[in-house]
Amino acid sequence: MPMYQPRLEGMDREELERIQLQRLKDTIRHIKENNQFYWEKIGKVEPEDIKSLEDLRQLPFLTKEDLRKGYPFAYTCAPKNSFVRFHMSSGTTGTPIVNFYTRNDVEQWAEIMARCLTAAGVTSSDVVQITPSFGLFNGGFGFHYGCERIGAMIVPIGAGRSMLQLQLMKEMGTTVVCAIASYPLRLIEVAKEEGFDFKRDTKLRVGIFGAEVWSDEMRKRIEEEMGIDSYDIIGMTETGGVGLGIDCQHKCGIHVWEDHYIVEIIDPETGEVLPDGEEGEIVVTTLTREGVPLIRYRTRDITRIVSRERCDCGRTMLRVDRLKGRTDDMLKVKGVNFYPSQIEAILMRHKEVGNEYQIIIDEKKGKTYVKVVLEIKNGSRVANGELKEHLATHLYDFLGFRVDLELVPEGTIPRKPGKAQRVIDNRGKKEN
């Protein structure tokens, strides 16, 4: 399988861990020399105190709350005049999280994105349509830098304008589309309305999607409708943007670029590091970032380490499972904990179900009620009553309690730009 940097991506574990240890020491030294507050935050640890990678576990965690309280410059570790850009979290509540980039940080970003694109089979012969926005959200720029590195042709359209997206796919001969994970569903919907056929009207072959949790069932649906092979890419503003890892053509886990990042999986309740294979919260330490390096950053994303063995693609970087959700996305209803993606997986198994749904949770007189509103594909031949009964049974088998199901025609649930709103939790809100 092709690699952007074969020697680095396929180095043996012993060499990789030597590089990680040295870069961890260098990162701690960088923090010590450039930010006294941050160095005190991690316990004034000396680089020489780190004898092994296991010693990292002795250092405290860094959290989203820490970064918000430190907005904007408390955790920066480079002179302000060395910053060439910044990006900001896409969250809409509270103080944002911001990450500042030096020139070297931008180059590091381009490198790992070139690796991601190559892992997805993208080459200099491809035409890559970038649909995430080019702005404070980091996604568009990350894909752009990676494409420049490998020499692919870029269609830098950015977010929205779905009709124009389809037009350019056809006219420019787009072969690769990059998007927020739910956006292909909108493109599929518009294509059907306009009589546009991805397999007939485009040369699409690859889709690279991320920024949201998306189920295996949604993945299969997107691939079938668009006639593409899809790849799951992860990353976040705090770690330097999209590109922390991606799955390869074998689809047996997401490769994390371990020469740039150390990942741990912890119990989100106790903070204890969990053994490989056990599900928990992913914690990231950056090894090559200058502007805002991270030490044991709690991402809130839930996954597990699948393997540290060499993959069939030849890469030796460890693999994590596709993200299940976030600790703050977990819903707790009637003593049951579950993620929206698990509900999605059940819904999407039924071909009559459309691409849009919402989980609405209400509380009345001390009792909690859950309603799932889901769109049914136009022209579906299955009687709504029969489908509703099947879905209700499957949801009850999973949750252990009944939910109210509302089946509505396609187009009923409002479409909004950006990430899809899958959950409306009205608990704790005062009634008007």
430 located within any domain = no
Domain containing 338 — which CATH number?
3.30.300.30
Element (H, E) at 40: helix 36-41
Average pLDDT across the chain, whole number: 94
Q: Which of 279, 294, 327 is the last residue of a domain?
A: 327
Q: Are 402 and 145 in contact (CB under 8 A)?
A: no
> d(Cα 28, Cα 13) in Å, to the nearest integer?
22
Q: Is the pTM of this model over 0.95?
A: no
Instruction: Mark residue 43 as left, alpha or beta (left: phi above 0; alpha: psi -120 to 50; beta: remaining).
Output: left
The rounded distance, in Å, linking the Cα atoms of 199 and 218 is: 18
107 is a domain residue: yes
Neighbouring residues of 333: CB distance < 8 A, sequence distance ≥ 6: 361, 368, 370, 399, 401
Q: Indicate whether 173 belongs to any domain.
A: yes
* 195 plus 318 within the same structural domain: yes
Q: Which amino acid is at 61?
A: F
pLDDT in tens, 274-299: 999 999 999 999 999 999 999 999 99
Domain presence at residue 146: yes
Q: Which of 265, 300, 327 is the last residue of a domain?
A: 327
Amino acid at 306: V
In a domain, residue 298? The reply is yes
Q: How many domains does the chain have?
A: 2
Q: Is the domain of 57 the same as that of 164? A: yes
Range of the domain at 153: 1-327
At position 239, the amino acid (one-letter code) is: T
Whether 104 and 182 map to the same domain: the answer is yes
Residues sharing a CB contact under 8 Å with residue 371, sequence separation 6 or more, in sequence order: 359, 360, 361, 362, 403, 404, 405, 406
Q: Are residues 323 and 341 in the same domain?
A: no
Supply the pLDDT for residue 383.
62
Q: Same domain, yes or no, for 267 and 350?
A: no
Q: Are residues 84 and 170 in the same domain?
A: yes
- Tell me, yes or no, whether 102 and 223 share the same domain: yes
**Residue 432 included in any domain:** no
Tens digit of each residue's pLDDT (9 = 90 or more) over 104-154: 999 999 999 999 999 999 999 999 999 999 999 999 999 999 999 999 999
Q: Do 308 and 225 lie in a common domain?
A: yes
86 occurs within a structural domain: yes
For the range 52-58, what are the long-range contacts, defined as Cβ-Cβ under 8 Å and sequence gap of 24 or more? 52/21, 53/17, 53/20, 53/21, 53/24, 53/262, 56/24, 56/262, 56/264, 56/285, 56/296, 57/264, 57/273
Q: Compute the average pLDDT of residues 304-331.
A: 95
Matching residue, tokens 């940097």: 5
From 114-118, 267-271, 328-332, the region with the lowest mean pLDDT: 328-332
Q: Which of 302, 327, 352 is the last residue of a domain?
A: 327
Q: Are residues 321 and 381 in the same domain?
A: no
Domain membership of residue 431 (yes or no) is no
DSSP 55: G
Q: What residues contact 339, with CB distance under 8 A and at least 6 apart?
A: 213, 302, 324, 325, 329, 330, 331
Q: Distance between CA 208 and CA 113 in Å, rounded? A: 11
100 burial (CB, 10 Å; 0-12 / 13-18 / 19+) is: buried
4 and 72: one domain? Answer: yes
pLDDT tens-digit readout, 10-52 = 999 999 999 999 999 999 999 999 999 999 999 999 999 999 9
CATH number of the domain to which 113 belongs = 3.40.50.12780
Give the DSSP H/E element, type plus range, for residue 129.
Answer: strand 127-130
- Look at residue 262 and tell me whether its pLDDT is greater than 70: yes
Are 281 and 357 in the same domain? no
Cis ω for the linkage preceding 268 (within 30 of 0): no
Instruction: Tell me, yes or no, whether 134 and 196 share the same domain.
Output: yes
95 burial class (0-12, 13-18, 19+ CB within 10 angstroms)?
A: middle
